[in-house]
Amino acid sequence: MVDFQRQRLLSDFVSSGSGDSELSSLFGVHQVVYSQRVIVLERLSRLEPLSEIRAFTGLSSQALHQLLLRLARKRWVERQSFGVWEVTQEGLNHLTEINGKPQFNGFEPLVEGLSEHKLEDLGRLVRETYKRRHKSKGGSKHRKYGNMNKGFTENEAEAFFSVVDNPRHRLLFEFQAFLGLRIGEAVRVKVEDLNLSESWLRVATEKSGKTDFVPLPPFFVERVKAYLECFGGSVAQHAGYLFYSTHRVGKPISAFCARNLFNRYRARAGLVDTYGVSDDLKPRKLYRISTHSFRHAFLTRAARELKDVSLVSKLARHSNLSATEAYIHRDFTELREAINQLYPNFLMTKARGLK
């Protein structure tokens, strides 16, 4: 029974990312510096395969993938190829730094010496921490925004691209705007992923972990060809990455860097509408327009033009239609027309005569 409790507790701890100070207050530990991210980072530095890391942490494949993306935004890890991640020098430096602090070697030794009573107390604490962190979000990491349009309007897209004066940055965001790519997918596009003669792009889809193929419109093929004529030499020197890092040879720019570039252009274009603040430990403004707004706008436009949700879902590379429908925005004019259709004139006339 105790062994089962330890295993479940470890899984709960990693899933919730419980706070160090809360654990310290319960067990009198001066400082417990390991959280789910550090546990994964440490094991990845030992070159453990992802399957073993998942088995140790109890994380699902999708949860582990999202965690690795967060580590990548901190520049602690980099994706070398599909399903293969490597700890960066910054990540190793971080591990070296925390190794000099009072700690347990991961969460496992902390659990090992606990009685059944202590395990129950710690399990309760971990679950309460998780609920408290997510109580205002219904278990979701993202604040709901109702029927607000999180996509670019035509005018907003025009305003944004009018201030993007760097051709490398422009094509990066055009991969999102015209093909609906996620930012993490766009930054990793390589020459070998492109077949310009047959007009398609191979994409390692982030959410599903599958390889998909995206058709390229003729005008976009020409843009990519023009880009390669200008930057083909540098692209070749950086392992074929179209959007290579100027600071790390053979590496693409990170999604974190791309988001920072986007934020600068967004501010320059005056697209600074917000709809609240995050529920993170360090609250931040939530902007209506983000890099993901390109994908929202792309799928909304596709739905409006194609009038076939199943076809739009294929373009989105979604595994189900419900995921696609969440991206399709109906503007207020459409909603007004829809409600007017519910109440023909003769019914409204009759209703106005009621006392």
Whether the Cβ atoms of residue 277 and residue 286 lie closer than 8 Å to each other: yes
Q: Enter the CATH code of domain 148-355.
A: 1.10.443.10
Q: Sign of the C-alpha dihedral, residues 203, 62, 280, 21?
A: negative
Domains 2-137 and 148-355 alike in fold: no
The backbone torsions φ and ψ at residue 317, rounded to the nearest 5 degrees and listed phi first, read: 60, 40
Q: Model confidence over 16-46: pLDDT tens digits?
A: 444 444 444 444 333 333 456 777 887 887 7
For residues 291-330, one letter each, b for 16 or more C-beta atoms within 10 angstroms of the residue's C-beta and e for the rest, the string is bebbbbbbbbbbbeeeeebeebbebbbbeeeeebeebbbe
Retrieve residue 52's tokens: 């073993």
pLDDT value, residue 171: 97
Whether the Cβ atoms of residue 298 and residue 177 lie closer than 8 Å to each other: yes
Provide the 10 A C-beta neighbour count for residue 289.
25
User: What is d(CA 58, CA 56) in angstroms, rounded to the nearest whole number?
Assistant: 6
Query: To which H or E segment does residue 277 belong?
Result: strand 274-277
Give CA separation, 346 vs 311, 335, 340, 354, in Å. Answer: 39, 21, 12, 13
Give CA separation, 276 vs 262, 327, 331, in Å. Answer: 20, 20, 20
Q: Where are the alpha helices (DSSP H) in 202-306?
A: 218-237, 255-269, 293-306
Amino acid at the residue 107: F
Q: Enter the CATH code of domain 2-137.
A: 1.10.10
Those residues of the chain that have pLDDT short of 70 are: 1-36, 57-58, 82, 97-147, 279-282, 330-332, 334-336, 338-355
pLDDT value, residue 279: 66
Amino acid at the residue 178: F
Q: Sign of the C-alpha dihedral, residues 331, 333, 336, 342?
A: negative
pLDDT value, residue 244: 94
Q: Model confidence over 311-345: pLDDT tens digits?
A: 989 898 888 888 888 787 766 676 667 666 666 65
- Per domain, the residue ranges of the chain are 2-137, 148-355
Query: To which H or E segment does residue 97 belong?
Result: helix 89-99
Retrieve residue 69's tokens: 């993306």
